[in-house]
């Protein structure tokens, strides 16, 4: 009895999910004015996404470069303030910081090129899209009162 009940419950759950899933999927992809047809993605949406992603990474690299440059300044001060063996360690840290700064600067330059290329692709895509023409709305015209015939 227990197995029959579990099987029936599972069957009912699967049926409910499949019916609900089909109706949910059809409403999610259907365009309101064209029921049954999938909705079209916005034109140039992929290009816009690429530009946004590239710009976000560029912003992150800019912050990272600023932090690395601050570390180089700090290490320069440490080298100037120390003598002997600690100075050698400070110089080693300074060299490492400068190398990291150069690496991040190179990454930033490459990312700037990616942003420029992605922006160019977006502009090209947008230029290829027809501009939507606004539907002319008839303006309410006022009619002059009809002339009254004189007797």
Other Cβ atoms less than 10 A from the Cβ of 114: the count is 16
Question: Do strands 30-31 and 34-38 pair parallel, antiparallel, or not at all (unpaired)?
Answer: antiparallel
Write the pLDDT tens digit of every residue in 67-125.
Answer: 999 999 988 888 888 888 888 888 888 899 999 999 999 999 999 999 999 999 999 99
- Domain boundary assignment for the chain: 47-127
Write the pLDDT tens digit of every residue in 30-76.
Answer: 455 556 656 666 778 898 999 999 999 999 999 999 999 999 998 88
- Note whether 44 and 120 are within 8 A (CB): no
The reported pTM is: 0.52
Question: Which residues in 31-45 are b (16+ Cβ under 10 Å) and which e?
Answer: eeeeeeeeeeeeebe
Residue 37 CA, chain-centre distance (Å), reads 26
Please list, in sequence order, all residues whose beta carbon lies within 8 angstroms of the beta carbon of residue 19, skipping any fewer than 6 positions away.
Answer: none
| One-character DSSP codes across 24-39 | HHHHHHEETTEEEEEP
């Amino acid at each position: 009895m227990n197995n029959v009940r579990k099987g029936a419950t599972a069957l009912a759950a699967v049926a409910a999910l499949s019916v609900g899933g089909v109706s949910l999927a059809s409403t999610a992809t259907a365009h309101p004015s064209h029921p049954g047809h999938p909705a079209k993605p916005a034109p140039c949406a992929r290009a816009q996404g690429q530009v946004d992603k590239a710009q976000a990474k560029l912003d992150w690299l800019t912050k990272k470069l600023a932090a690395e440059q601050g570390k180089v300044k700090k290490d320069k001060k440490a080298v100037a303030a120390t003598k002997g063996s600690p100075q050698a360690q400070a110089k080693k840290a300074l060299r490492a910081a400068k190398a990291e700064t150069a690496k991040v600067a190179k990454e930033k330059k490459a990312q700037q090129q990616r942003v420029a290329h992605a922006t160019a692709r977006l502009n090209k895509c947008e230029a290829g899209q027809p501009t939507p023409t606004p539907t002319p709305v008839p303006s309410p015209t006022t009619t002059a009162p009809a002339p009254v015939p004189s007797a």
